[in-house]
Structure 1
């Protein structure tokens, strides 16, 4: 369907806001690749599969690497679950295949089944500090978090820890009811060098895709995270 024919006035305002006003807002801009990485992660988080299919080719054309996209989709399984991330994996594979982008994206894992817990726990320490060293011992969910979420995915190449914390922030802010985790990962971002100003720019660039309520919630979480770090 051509929305420029069926909804011309709406599309005029949507295009202007999302692709002109927001992108060019002084003090709120991001490098194109970073911006697209955040937008795709936010679309996964809010379950915007139809718009994801439209935005993914634009991200590729703007220089975002296929491996960064694939790593984003893979990592989303920990924050959305298989049931909600699976359509995005399918859509990504279909678009990559149509464009002649080689599949599978392999060779990015650096852990084994034997050391994934150890290396995952270390990634938690690298991001959140020494108190996370023995957090995996608090119960089986915490052990899974260290071994699976961090050991299986955060340790992979293709994205660095700062980028992985940013996409996690985007997954969480695009969902409802994740504010406690969003505050924690806002702090993790800041620990990785993604400071308050950077995170506010991320929210600004994602706002057209997730709406005002979730964006304002994210800003509140950023402020709480920054205040907590300042008072630590």
Structure 2
């Protein structure tokens, strides 16, 4: 390998690492369907080749929440509840997504969920309440330690970057809050959390780097390439072609990385 080729490769790897950092995910080789070791509720041990109706509803809910399309969000929430999402799981999806789409959209979406539940109740539909997290969430240093461990499981290894050296507090927030406070809540499995994140990021132009990172993360927590192709299909058919194309491009890169190409 020539010196010029080595320099070009190093610059490419550095850029790839930096663009993955807004969600705290550094690139690492993975195999399709590889589960995060020790992850709470990472999904079934056997990798599924198709999504359930419940799983298919999640990216749609997330996409319409991220774009503040309330009429379509209303319909997607109704569809998700009919497919088996519990009230607790649905609330958890919308709460988590504030970390990617912002508090205003999350609050508005939770308000829309309240309307949907009331409408369903008036129609005689009694949705399963689901459950709250089964364990107490740590605080302080213990919380950041737990979040750091979760971050590394999802990322495929320790996360380091010049960006985190430049602004260390952003990684502290990621570890303590996103991967700590949120991902330690076990009333929603990690596969569902990643499906929601994919839907939201695919619907928002300009965050393709983060979308690519979460495609890789989705493989790590046990979603299969075939299931992720379904995510692309769901977004293309039920959200819009642009969202589907962004997801398709991210999946192609994640699949290439997983196969070592």
For Structure 1 versus Structure 2, the TM-score category normalised by the shorter chain is 0.7 to 0.9
Equivalent residue, structure 1, for 2:187: 158
Whole-Å Cα distance in 2 between the matches of residues 194 and 102 of structure 1? 25
- SS in structure 2 opposite 1:132? coil
Whole-Å Cα distance in 2 between the matches of residues 135 and 191 of structure 1? 24
How many residue pairs get aligned? The number is: 205
Where in structure 2 are there 5+ consecutive unaligned residues? 1-48
Give the deviation of 1:110 after TM superposition: 3.7
Where in structure 1 are there 5+ consecutive unaligned residues? 1-27
Equivalent residue, structure 2, for 1:184: 213
Residues 207-222 of structure 1: matches in 2 within 5 Å? 207-222=236-251
Give the deviation of 1:216 after TM superposition: 1.0
Give the deviation of 1:45 after TM superposition: 2.3
Contact 1:46 1:210 in 2 (8 A): no
Q: Does 1:46 align with 2:67?
A: yes
Q: Does 1:226 align with 2:255?
A: yes
Contact 2:146 2:180 in 1 (8 A): yes
Q: Deviations over 1:105-146 (max 9, x none)?
A: 754664232232111111111111222389996410111011
Match of 1:196 among 214, 225, 228: 225
Whole-Å Cα distance in 2 between the matches of residues 48 and 108 of structure 1? 33
Whole-Å Cα distance in 2 between the matches of residues 119 and 133 of structure 1? 17
Contact 1:41 1:171 in 2 (8 A): yes
Return the TM-score normalized by structure 2: 0.70
Structure 1 segments of 4 or more deviating over 4 A?
A: 100-109, 133-137
- The 1:135/1:37 distance shift into structure 2, 3 A limit, reads farther
Equivalent residue, structure 1, for 2:115: 94
- The 1:207/1:174 distance shift into structure 2, 3 A limit, reads same
Q: Does 1:112 align with 2:141?
A: no
- The 1:196/1:96 distance shift into structure 2, 3 A limit, reads same
- The 1:101/1:140 distance shift into structure 2, 3 A limit, reads same
Whole-Å Cα distance in 2 between the matches of residues 136 and 120 of structure 1? 19
- The 1:110/1:167 distance shift into structure 2, 3 A limit, reads farther
Return the TM-score normalized by structure 1: 0.78
Q: RMSD of aligned C-alpha atoms?
A: 2.8
Give the deviation of 1:230 after TM superposition: 2.3
- Larger helix fraction of residues: 1
